[in-house]
Amino acid sequence: MMQVLSVASECAPLVKTGGLADVVGALPGALAGQGVRMRTLLPGYPAVMGVLSDAQQVGWFDDLFGGGARLVQGHAAGLDLLAIDAPHLFARPGGPYIDPDGRDWPDNPERFAALSWVGAHVATHGADGWHPQVLHGHDWQAGLMTEYLRQMGGRTKTVLTIHNIAFNGSTDPGRLQSLRLDPWRFHTEGYEFWGSISALKAGLMGSDALTTVSPSYAEELMTPEFGMGLEGVMQHRRYALHGILNGIDDSAWNPATDPAITRYDSPAGKAAAKAALQAELEMPRAEGPLYVIVSRMTHQKGLDLVLQILPDILDQGGQLAVLGSGDPGLEHAFRQAATNPNVSVRIGYDEPFSRRLIAGGDAILVPSRFEPCGLTQMYGLRYGTIPVVALTGGLADTVINASPAALAQGVATGVQFSPVTAEALCNALARLGSLYRDPETWLQLQKNAMTQPVGWAQSARAYAQLYADLTGPE
């Protein structure tokens, strides 16, 4: 049995701000069938420690970046967990990264350096007799693990997964001492990035293997448009980089068993889910498609493009229902748009409602300017809600465009558009409208979508093979 320690700053269902948590929470179960035992190391946030009240202490740190800390192990939500019980770092209100007023915690560099430090310590010295063969970190919050592993003399193989390169964990070099970093490694072949310390660059340069969450995003990372200044590093490490597509928990996201929705097991059942959603939103029946959006409201997600073409959507008899939060300007603009009876907007996060939106919508809009993988389009596929996606990253890898050839072969599952502009999105919705008005073609699209493999099976095999390749005979 392969032993792997996953190191992450969030993990569903315990603590979540985005897709990273979904992946970290799903991987252990997906890999169990591949002969991999994965433990997950998390910061001891209140939400984590609250479910580990009977946990066993397996380690102690006299000074973990400013105070004493326990390492505890336990089980919760079907996960085999290690948690860092360090109240001076993690026993705080607010989210994992921000305070209740929405500002970054000023000691975030030290907080997540502590996560990396403990991960490297467990990899080097074990935890209650358990020793991982692979140390698998996620994003910048685990990026310094390779630096600390080097300092501790550890030889464990390392993997770093890039979920979103836009966040690289940069901080001032004046923190070299507080972060316990070797100053002789502050150079271009180490963790230096444009005069700053970059936790992500440390992991990119130091890990034995790099993965990212879709094959297309792996290619995009090597370009100036998507590399966020790290494209040179990605080109340098191209032979260590693997694009492994994310999956979703297709048993939890199942329209036939989902308790949050009007259930259905075929496209024919969607009509009841749509009628229930329209009634809940107090929307009239309409001739055109009901478009739904479940998203963070940021520039990356391209929702400003939807606002630009909203008059066209409504003129064509369409409707729009939105759930999300983020940029105050976008929130305000969508609230203003909701004065129209064919537009419904809810600001915030509400998973049961998101499921009702996805189940009841005809199409789900994902017009992201960049998208490492994306999960909402996969939820849409699972529920027969046709994705309309930008041709980028994982969106390109998971949706088969309804081109004439794909339609003729009966394999299309959605509509892609490029470039990521309002005009191109408007043209894509015009194409979708034509498909919607052809009942036979639309039904085939829905059937294709609902039978598209979106689970973890194939990706789990790829991760297990990567681990085996790393730890096999040299």
What is the model's pLDDT at position 316?
95
102 band by pLDDT with thresholds 50, 70 and 90: confident
CB atoms within 10 A of CB 186: 15
What is the model's pLDDT at position 302?
98
Query: pLDDT exceeding 90 applies to what percent of the chain?
Result: 96
54 band by pLDDT with thresholds 50, 70 and 90: confident
What is the model's pLDDT at position 19?
85
> The whole model's pTM is what?
0.92
Q: Which tokens belong to 200?
A: 């992500």
The answer to whether the peptide bond before residue 13 is cis (omega within 30 degrees of 0) is yes
Closest Cα partner for 5 from 178, 201, 177, 137? 137
Question: 474 pLDDT exceeds 80?
Answer: no
342-399 confidence digits (pLDDT tens): 999 999 989 899 999 999 999 999 999 999 999 999 999 999 999 999 999 999 999 9
125 band by pLDDT with thresholds 50, 70 and 90: very high
253-281 confidence digits (pLDDT tens): 999 999 999 999 999 999 999 999 999 99
Check for a shared fold between 2-247+457-471 and 267-451. yes
Strand ranges of the sheet holding 386-390, from the earlier edge strand across to the other edge: 343-347, 319-326, 290-297, 363-366, 386-390, 415-417
Q: Name 419's Cβ contacts closer than 8 Å, sequence gap at least 6.
A: none
What is the model's pLDDT at position 53?
73
What is the model's pLDDT at position 186?
97
- CATH number belonging to domain 267-451: 3.40.50.2000
414-470 confidence digits (pLDDT tens): 999 999 999 999 999 999 999 999 999 999 999 999 999 999 999 999 999 999 999
214-239 confidence digits (pLDDT tens): 999 999 999 999 999 999 999 999 99
Find the helix packing angle between 303-315 and 422-436, rounded to 10°.
40
Task: Judge contact between 4 and 467, C-beta under 8 A.
Answer: yes
Question: 292 pLDDT exceeds 60?
Answer: yes
Strands annotated E in 2-55: 2-7, 36-43
The fold adopted by the segment(s) 2-247+457-471 is Rossmann fold (3.40.50)
What is the model's pLDDT at position 18?
83
20-50 confidence digits (pLDDT tens): 999 999 999 999 999 999 999 999 999 999 9
What's the residue count for the chain? Answer: 474
299 band by pLDDT with thresholds 50, 70 and 90: very high
Question: 473 pLDDT exceeds 80?
Answer: no
Mean of per-residue pLDDT scores for the chain? 96
What is the model's pLDDT at position 285?
92
**Strand partners for 212:** 162, 243
Q: Could you tell me if residue 228 is left (phi over 0), alpha (psi between -120 and 50 degrees) or otherwise beta?
A: left
Domain definitions of the chain by residue range: 2-247+457-471, 267-451
98 φ, ψ (degrees, to nearest 5): -125, 155
Query: Binding site annotation covers 16?
Result: yes
